[in-house]
Structure formats: structure tokens, C-alpha cells
Structure 1
Amino acid sequence: MPPTTSPESLIPRRVRDERTRRGLTLDQLAASAGVSRAMISRIERGQSSPTAVLLSKIGDAMGLSLSALMSEPVAAGPEMRRMAQQPSWADPATGYIRRLVSPPGGDGEVEVVAVELPAGRSVTFAATQSLHSQDQILLLEGRLHLRSADTVYELQPGDCARISTTEENAFGNPAAVPARYLVVKRHYR
């Protein structure tokens, strides 16, 4: 197996390459994402560790998921991805850990992501503008306070909730232990 590049070193190149591939200037991407030009430039140069929320905005502006920005583009790949090969990334603002479970390639219509949200932390994602998905959140361990638009869910282990990225979604961990959950995303435009 070829060595995998860590998401921390891959994200700057992926943002730059995808912006360039789409023919977007820094100013155009900044305006579309609602992120400063300077911040995008720092991310592309590897001088800033972007948060999950910031990467989500940048990805949405280019029609890409967070997972697409943290992994190599692959047209087709093996039908299995061992845990050691699954890219994992930690949000510098919250300590939230996101691991892309799905094998690379495929049609990108469905992806599985494993998340660990530290005790007492929360993360809020704005409604997406271009790349939408219906997400099912399955809590494996801990507790999860999930708000999707005006609906609030209090998840216990084994509970599963369905949300849409067309709404603002907030994930909070009110417990003293990490919350571990799976996100099964079905993308659509």
C-alpha cells in the first residue's frame, strides 16, 4: 500500500488545487465562501490550521464535502479501506476528530464518517449553499445534543437522527466523556 498523506498536510494543497481547477481567484472563493481572502491564502500556504466550520464553508463554495478536502482525489479505488488507511483530522478549535471511513473513489453519493466530539465541546455548521446531503447520525458512545434548524435531539447510545445540511446544524457534547458517532451522508445537489 502506498503511504497516505495526513489531512493536515493535504488540506492546503487540496484547497489550492480545487480552487485553481475551478478557475477561481482567491477573491472569488473568499466572496463565495464568506471567508477572508487572507485566511484562504494562509490555508493554501499551510500557515493556518482551518477549523471544521471554516473548511465546510470553503468546500461548500466549491461544491465539495469536508471529506473531499481531507483526502486525495481518486477516480476509483479499492472496495475496502482499512482503519489504518482512513484519513483522520482534528479540528484545531474544538478537538473534534473526523475520520473518513468510506473507501476512496466510487460515485461519492454516500459516505461514512466517524466523529469523536470531546466532552463539553460543540461545533455548528452553517446551512450549505451548493453541496447538500441528508445525514443520519448514529450515536455510538456518550451523549449528543443535536440541533437542526429549530429541532433539538438528545441522543443516547444507539439513537439515530436524520438531518439535512440545508439547515444549520449544531452538535454539542454535554457529557464528561467524548461522544462518538457515525455520520452516513447521502449527497445530492
Structure 2
Amino acid sequence: MRNDPPGDADHRLAARLAALRADRGWSLDDLAARSAVSRSTLSRLERAELSPTAAQLGRLCAAYGRTMSRLLAEVEAEPPGLLRAAEQPVWQDPEAGFSRRSVSPPHPGLRAELVEGTLLPGATVRYDGPPVPGLEQHLWVLAGTLRLTLDDGPQHLAPGDCLRFRLHGASEFHCPGPEPVRYLVAVVLP
């Protein structure tokens, strides 16, 4: 999220997660079954006692049929047309060594967005499945190296390489090092 005072972004995200579950009439047990996130963790996430990991947020987005960027944009204030670098929301999973910057100005009616990802050397982020089946992505490596594993196996990407794919199954992003990998992803809804 943005560099808000500690807790502000977490509280907005927690409230949005609780509202999404309530809108569907799901119990915590229902959501736990759909997302493979434990009931107790879901409860703590919705009360902002805990910040979600990248993997947990990915599973919740899949359960709700949203991209991560869309969910994070929903907790931001009125969407601007211009988003200066200093205002771009940054979400971090320090334990996983992952940070995600929403580069595009958020807008719920648009089908494409740009996201910058950074993984520290040795870091791995796994997603059980796409938030939206058939999600098109164009991944461009800006610095470092990335091993991206999709249904058809691993792809090793170096600076300047760009891979276009449709996401249908699990995915894994790994930075083999020795330096962090920084990449840009264009996410396009089907």
C-alpha cells in the first residue's frame, strides 16, 4: 500500500476484505474452504491484526475473482488520472522478500494495468492459481534475473527479456540472485 502512517492501509485492506466476504454472504469457514487460508488467519486479517502475505493475498484474490491490483486499488481513495512515482501504492511482504508497486493509476473500469515487482536474491513467491482464469500478462525484466515457473515449466529471464503468457494455473516467481530482480508486468483482464 502507500507509505501511509502505520496501520492506515492495513485497516482499509482489512475492512475491504471483510466487506467482500459479507457481500457474498460467506462465513469465515466458507472463505477458508475457497481460499485455503485458515479461518483464524482470515479473522485476524479482517481485524487488521495481521497483514497478509503475498501468497495469502493471491489466494483471497482468486476466491473473490479479482486481481491483486484491483483489490489494492479498491482500498485507495478516489482514483487519480496521474499517479506520481511518490504516490504509487507499494505493498510489501518483507518475510517473502517481495515488494509490489501499482504503477498505473487505479480505475475499476479499465482492463489493463502496470505493476512493478521486486524480489530479493533467493526469494520465491508462489501463487496457487490466477485471480482470474486466462489473465494475460506481459512480464518485462528490468534488472536482475527471474525464474518464472508456469504450467509449461520454468522460464529463465534476463534484463530486457519480455514474456507474454495467459495465466491458467499455479505460478512461481524466484530470484536466483546474486542481485534483486526488478520487473514490470502488464496485466490484462480477459
1:152 maps to amino acid: P
Aligned pairs, number: 186
1:55-134 maps to which residues of 2 (within 5 A)? 55-72=57-74, 77-128=79-130, 130=132, 132-134=134-136
Secondary structure of the corresponding residue to residue 71 of structure 1: helix
Does 2:23 correspond to 1:21?
yes
How far 1:69 moved relative to its partner? 2.8
How far 1:95 moved relative to its partner? 2.0
Does 2:42 correspond to 1:40?
yes
Counterpart of 1:170? 172
> Structure 2-normalised TM-score?
0.87
- Bigger shift: 18-27 or 136-145? 18-27
Counterpart of 1:54? 56
Counterpart of 1:142? 144
The separation in 2 between residues aligned to 1:73 and 1:175, in whole angstroms, is 33
Percent identity between the two aligned chains: 35
The separation in 2 between residues aligned to 1:140 and 1:146, in whole angstroms, is 14
Secondary structure of the corresponding residue to residue 73 of structure 2: coil
The separation in 2 between residues aligned to 1:152 and 1:98, in whole angstroms, is 22
> Structure 1-normalised TM-score?
0.88
How far 1:73 moved relative to its partner? 5.1
Q: Deviations over 1:139-159 (max 9, x none)?
A: 000011111113221111110
1:108 maps to amino acid: L
Could you tell me whether the CA contact under 8 Å between 1:135 and 1:164 is conserved in 2? yes
1:143 maps to amino acid: T
Unaligned runs of 5+ in 1: none
1:133 maps to amino acid: L
Could you tell me whether the CA contact under 8 Å between 2:67 and 2:131 is conserved in 1? no
1:53 maps to amino acid: A
Unaligned runs of 5+ in 2: none
Secondary structure of the corresponding residue to residue 135 of structure 1: strand
How far 1:68 moved relative to its partner? 2.5
Secondary structure of the corresponding residue to residue 22 of structure 2: helix
1:84 maps to amino acid: A
The separation in 1 between residues aligned to 2:120 and 2:76, in whole angstroms, is 31
Secondary structure of the corresponding residue to residue 70 of structure 1: helix
How far 1:76 moved relative to its partner? 7.3
